[in-house]
Structure 1
Amino acid sequence: MRQKILAAVLLVGVAVALGWYFLWDRTQGSLVLYGNVEIRQVDVSFRVDGRIAQVLVDEGDSVRAGQELARLDDDLLRQQRDQTAAQLAGQKAQLLRLERGYRTEEVEQARAAVARARAVADNATINLNRVSAMRARNAISQKELDNARSSDRSARAELRSAQEQLDMLLS
């Protein structure tokens, strides 16, 4: 009998809950509030890093999409622009020099360097021949002969380098 009473009370409770759910106007239960929403922090982003130089709006101002809110300090960007412009000017000057060719003074300097290197190389060859003859008679040490050979090779390398520099200027 207890179970029947419990089942009946439970059934009545479910019926009341369902009735209340279906019969009650749901709009009466919605909550409407009025007031202001205050934002204390706003994240603003820029395409580049930098220091903010000027803020153009105040807290509470209405803004629209795309409106400028702040400006970055552009000193660093101006310096980079000026440096790049200077590099460009230097590159243009070098291109102009390459297009016009080398000045006659530069060619003459290269010819003089070849003549000097040839004279040094010829002297080193003469010295090597003299030292070789002396070494054949055991008049000097092997070290002096090695030094003369080294000087001759070095002088020949300097001559080749100077000649290649002149060839580059002439081509």
Structure 2
Amino acid sequence: MAGPVRSEDATPRDDAIRLLARREYARAELRDRLAAKGHALEAVEACLDALVEQGLQSDVRFAESFLRSRVARGQGPVRIRAELSRRGVDDATARGAFDEAGGEVDWFELAATTLARRFSGPGQEPRERARRERFLAGRGFDFDQLRHAMNHAWDDA
């Protein structure tokens, strides 16, 4: 009985399928991973083209999945866009993922919920308020979302 395929015997497709079985990957991310395993760039590109054609790899699907996971973590649109770009997703694909999620995600409410979950109140001192603002900015919320959160995070408390 044959055992698992050893890495040095694996084709780019074998390695790509193994990676994609765990989670979605952007094409650029997958290309980098396969190249790091020592596969020839021409073979990697041909493999990626075939995977896209077969529907096994999709930057659109990756961007939508990535966006949902980051929203669940309480991250804002600025940070998510930057991370998608860093992972090789083009602006049009990222914009499409945000448009798709547009009706589902209220970024202002997410900022307020994220802030309320982390801090028990708005803080009385300017230093405490600045700390809360830095927290939200670091999470990737823009100025308007940050202001909204600072004013409404503890409305129900």
Q: TM-score, normalised by structure 2?
A: 0.30
Q: Would you tell me which structure has more strand in proportion to its own residues?
A: 1
Q: TM-score, normalised by structure 1?
A: 0.28
Q: Higher relative contact order by CA 8 Å / sep ≥ 6: 1 or 2?
A: 2
Higher CA-based Rg: 1
